[in-house]
């Protein structure tokens, strides 16, 4: 009898669903097929002995691809360079290029490698995400950016490019138009996004209100009537500044987390990935300039006059998001995602209306606020090899340079010598003997584990595109039970055993399969991706029979009363093969 060795594990709750694994009564369900009906001859002893001596090693060769953009002093693209012109360093050490080709200016192939045209089709297809950050944009600036995208980005997409539209709303990122090559579908999604209510005006209003309070109150002299009350008001403004900074930091961290999850989902797509982020910038130190405005008016005066007001020079830097922004850039580099960032708000333009009525808010604090806001944009773009611009009179200039990046570039590939350790590695690209050229590429890379990669593949199936399914994976919802305001939904995962690599042992053949399961509801809430390790053992005398059958594994999801996408990805650990599928399900219907 074929046995599926597995253990029951408890699921984790969070996001949209809680996953509970349920083993069917026989542990493995074999779905009947014509190949299973005919009796099979026993396996000869000689064959069994031969299998006992079989050794199998699964090697997963990772090729790191680095896109490189080269310009001259005049800003024009430099084409015609060859592999020998480039030097690529990882952590300061030169690496051997195993793959090279140029796009938009001549091509040179490495001997023995695939032709560049074939590689370009398989590994260089562009996936572009147009992301609108409604957390930071004002209606006017958002509409101006959308118009620029419609005029300067959509008309220049190639027929084989794929793009999507997504909107950041608070702590979630919602894909409003999935991957498509249809510019009109993208245009319609952008127009729909323009009807929403961005929160940028609320953020500006909150800052102005705090500045107005700082301006409207004064610090009394010792002995003045009501001095204690006035000092208490000054102290309360300071406490409100702390609350403002903390709230902005929470909002920004949630937004960064949503974008990071989205970048992880992009990792499941093949080829080049780019994010065009349209927003007002997430301040890396929200509130720092406001704290300094308060300090300039009250801090020194309070100490001189002997008033005890609790304040600290560190409060303005307490909620520092620099590390989180850099982590997002590192995540993008690990998943071959390039950021292009366009910022346009009053603060980023350096002409905040707050300066028009506040004596405490001068050009120095205006510059500080602008620097903190644009730091996130510059870090994301500069660290991933992209471009950043702030409040351009014509955003089309940035979009034109971005389009040139897509059309004219070099791709350098190499196989890392170091074992995968999950550490960030610094990358540097040089053109030998050409100090007159400017070279731009991503600043680093990080090895991703198979679990990270497969989690990204599952997220991609949930949010974007399941991709190829070479293992012929199939998923269906077979039943459900209502549990108060939620549903326990049975999900059956099926796949033909003939698609797996089975390693011969003494008395059985063994395979190793890992399933990755997740769910996402209509509001974009996504469950944690759960990994389920499923070893497979097939007795030698049943091997030929079993290879004609289909295996099934049942798991149970706890879902809200809402429309869901359920995604399952599977990795054959011995065969280094994977697949993913996604199905739609609305509990209760």
What does the domain layout of the chain look like in residue ranges? 3-59+454-585, 64-123+416-446, 126-218+239-304+319-406
Cβ atoms 110, 99 nearer than 8 A: yes
pLDDT at 124: 77
Q: What are phi and psi of 172, to 5 degrees?
A: -130, 155
| Residues whose CB falls within 8 Å of the CB of residue 387, separated by 6 or more in sequence, listed in order | 340, 341, 381, 398, 401, 402, 405
pLDDT at 355: 58
pLDDT at 360: 77
Neighbours of 483 (CB within 10 A): 9
Would you give the distance in Å from CA 551 to the centre of its chain?
33
Q: Helix (H, G, I), strand (E, B), or coil: what is residue 155?
A: helix
| Residues whose CB falls within 8 Å of the CB of residue 300, separated by 6 or more in sequence, listed in order | none
Please state which CATH class domain 126-218+239-304+319-406 belongs to. Answer: alpha beta
Distance CA 460, CA 215 (A): 50
Which of 3.30.300.30, 2.60.120.380, 2.60.40.3880, 3.80.10.10 would CATH assign to domain 3-59+454-585? Answer: 2.60.40.3880
Distance CA 533, CA 511 (A): 11
Complete edge-to-edge strand list for the sheet that includes strand 99-103: 99-103, 409-414, 64-71, 438-440
Distance CA 247, CA 249 (A): 5
Q: Take residue 85 and report the two structure tokens written for it.
A: 């012109």
Would you give the distance in Å from CA 13 to the centre of its chain?
22
Average pLDDT per consecutive 10 residues, the chain (589 residues; last block may be shorter): 32 41 38 34 43 50 88 93 96 94 61 42 82 91 92 94 92 90 96 89 87 89 89 92 93 91 86 93 90 89 85 86 95 94 75 62 86 93 94 85 94 86 89 94 89 89 88 94 92 93 91 94 87 90 87 91 94 93 92
Strands 17-21 and 530-539: unpaired
| Residues whose CB falls within 8 Å of the CB of residue 48, separated by 6 or more in sequence, listed in order | 507, 540
Report in angstroms the alpha-carbon separations of 281 from 245, 348, 377.
15, 8, 6
pLDDT at 58: 52
Q: What is the DSSP letter of 297?
A: I
Distance CA 538, CA 218 (A): 82
Q: Take residue 127 and report the two structure tokens written for it.
A: 């996936």
pLDDT at 479: 92
Structural Rg of the chain based on CA atoms: 29
Which residue is listed with tokens 């002997």? Answer: 306
Torsion over CA: 566, 571, 572, 575 (sign) = positive
Torsion over CA: 45, 50, 55, 56 (sign) = negative
Neighbours of 588 (CB within 10 A): 10
pLDDT at 3: 34
pLDDT at 349: 63
Alpha helices (H) in 194-226, listed in sequence order: 200-216
Q: What is the DSSP letter of 499?
A: G
Neighbours of 507 (CB within 10 A): 12
| Residues whose CB falls within 8 Å of the CB of residue 536, separated by 6 or more in sequence, listed in order | 4, 5, 28, 497, 500, 502, 510, 511, 512, 513, 551
Q: Which of 280, 281, 285 is nearest to 318 (CA)?
A: 285
**What DSSP assignment string belongs to 339-373?**
EEEEE-SHHHHT--GGGGT-TT--HHHHHHHHHHH
pLDDT at 367: 87
The phi-psi region of residue 413 (left if phi > 0; otherwise alpha if psi is between -120 and 50; otherwise beta) is: beta
């Amino acid at each position: 009898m074929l046995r599926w060795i597995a253990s029951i594990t408890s699921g984790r709750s969070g996001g949209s669903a809680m996953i509970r694994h349920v083993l069917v009564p026989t542990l493995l369900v074999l779905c009947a097929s014509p190949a299973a009906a005919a009796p099979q001859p026993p396996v000869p002893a000689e064959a069994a002995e031969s299998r006992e001596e079989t050794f199998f090693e699964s090697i997963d060769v990772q090729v790191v691809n680095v896109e490189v953009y080269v310009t001259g002093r005049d800003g024009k693209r430099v084409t015609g360079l060859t592999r020998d012109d480039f030097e690529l360093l990882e952590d300061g050490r030169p690496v051997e290029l195993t793959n090279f080709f140029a796009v938009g200016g001549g091509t040179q192939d490495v001997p023995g490698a695939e032709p560049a045209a074939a590689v370009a089709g398989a590994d260089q297809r562009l996936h572009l995400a147009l992301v609108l950050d409604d957390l930071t944009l004002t209606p006017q600036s958002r509409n101006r950016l959308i118009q620029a995208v419609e005029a300067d980005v959509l008309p220049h997409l190639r027929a084989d490019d794929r793009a999507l539209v997504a909107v950041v709303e608070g702590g979630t990122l919602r894909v409003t138009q999935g991957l498509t090559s249809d510019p009109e579908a993208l245009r319609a999604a952008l127009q729909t996004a323009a009807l929403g209510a961005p929160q940028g005006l609320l953020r500006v209003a909150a800052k102005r209100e705090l500045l107005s309070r700082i301006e409207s109150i004064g610090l009394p002299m010792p002995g003045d009537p009501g001095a204690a009350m006035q000092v208490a008001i000054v102290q309360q403004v300071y406490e409100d500044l702390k609350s403002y900074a903390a709230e902005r930091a929470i909002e920004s961290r949630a937004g960064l987390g949503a974008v990071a999850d989205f970048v992880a989902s992009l990792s499941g797509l093949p080829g080049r990935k780019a994010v065009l982020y349209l927003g007002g910038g997430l301040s890396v130190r929200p509130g720092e300039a406001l704290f300094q405005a308060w300090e300039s008016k009250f801090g020194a005066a309070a100490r001189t006059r002997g008033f005890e007001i609790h304040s600290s020079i560190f409060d303005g830097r307490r909620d520092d998001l620099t590390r989180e922004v850099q982590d997002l850039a590192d995540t993008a580099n690990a998943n071959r995602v390039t950021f292009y960032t366009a910022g346009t708000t009053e603060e980023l333009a350096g002409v905040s209306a707050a300066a028009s009525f506040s004596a405490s808010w001068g050009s120095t604090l205006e510059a500080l606020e602008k620097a903190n806001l644009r730091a996130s944009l510059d870090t994301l773009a500069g660290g991933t090899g992209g471009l950043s611009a702030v409040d351009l009179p014509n955003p089309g200039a940035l979009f034109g340079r971005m389009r040139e990046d897509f059309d004219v570039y070099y791709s350098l590939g190499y196989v890392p010598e170091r074992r995968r350790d999950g550490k960030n590695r610094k990358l540097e690209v040089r053109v030998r003997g050409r100090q007159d050229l400017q070279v731009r590429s991503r600043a680093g890379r990080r090895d991703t584990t198979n679990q990270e990669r497969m989690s990204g593949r599952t997220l991609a199936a949930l949010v974007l595109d399941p991709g190829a399914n070479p293992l012929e994976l199939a998923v269906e919802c077979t039943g459900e039970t209502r549990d108060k305001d939620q549903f326990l939904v049975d999900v059956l995962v099926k796949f033909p055993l003939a698609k797996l690599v089975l390693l011969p042992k003494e008395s059985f053949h063994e395979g190793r399969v890992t399933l990755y399961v997740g769910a996402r509801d209509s509001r974009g809430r996504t469950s944690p991706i759960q990994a389920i390790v499923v070893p497979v053992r097939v007795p030698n005398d049943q091997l030929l029979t079993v290879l004609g059958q289909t295996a099934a594994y049942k798991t149970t999801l706890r879902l809200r009363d809402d429309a869901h996408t359920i995604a399952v990805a599977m990795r054959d650990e011995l065969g280094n093969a994977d697949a993913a599928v996604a199905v739609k399900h609305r509990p209760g219907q």
